[in-house]
Amino acid sequence: MVLTLMSVPCVGADQYKIGVVDPNRVVELSPQYEAAGKALQVEVEERERNLRQQQEQITILQRKLERDSALMSESEMQRLQNDIRSRTRKLKYAQDEFQEDVALRQNELRTKLAKQVREVVVELAKEQGIDLVITEGLVYYSPRMDISDLVIERLKRDSSNK
C-alpha cells in the first residue's frame, strides 16, 4: 500500500523523497554507542569486584566452618553460621540490586542514544530534502534509499566535536 502511494505524485507536488534508516546498524557503528559501553563497563567493574570480594569472604568463612567446626564451641559455630547466612543474604540482595542498576543504566544510555540518532535523522532529512524517513519493520528497501551511513557519519562528526 505504501509503495503505491509513494509512486503516485500528488497534485501540485513533486514525487516524495524517502530515506530508510537501519537503527541497529546506526547504533552499533556510532562512536556514542562505543563510548557509552566503555563508560558502563567502568561503572560495572568496580561493583563486580566488590561482589566478588564479598563472595570470597563468604567462601573463606564456609571453609573455616568446615575445617574448624569440630574444635569450636556450639555458640562459636552458631555465630559463624549466622554470619555466613547474613553475608549470603546481603550478597544476594547486592547482586539483585546490581543487576537492576545495570539494566536501568543500559536503558538510560539506549534512550539517550536513540534521542541523538533521532535528532541527526531529522537534521539530515531536512538538509537532504527527504520527505519521509522509515525505520524498522521493513520487508525490502533499495540500498540507495538507506541513509544509515549518513547518520553514522554525522554521529561520528558530532562525537568528535565534543
All domains in the chain, ordered by first residue: 2-160 (3.30.910.20)
Distance separating alpha carbons of residues 73 and 56, to the nearest angstrom: 25
SS3 content of the chain, % helix, strand, coil (to 5): 75, 5, 15
- pLDDT tens string for the chain (162 positions)? 233 334 334 444 568 788 888 888 888 888 988 888 898 898 899 999 999 999 999 999 999 999 998 898 999 999 999 999 999 999 999 999 999 999 999 899 888 888 888 898 889 888 888 888 888 776 666 777 788 888 889 888 888 886
Q: Are 117 and 151 in contact (CB under 8 A)?
A: yes
Distance separating alpha carbons of residues 94 and 50, to the nearest angstrom: 10
Contacts of 141 (CB under 8 A, 6+ apart): 20, 134
Backbone angles phi, psi at 134, to 5 degrees: -110, 145
The verdict on pTM exceeding 0.75 is no
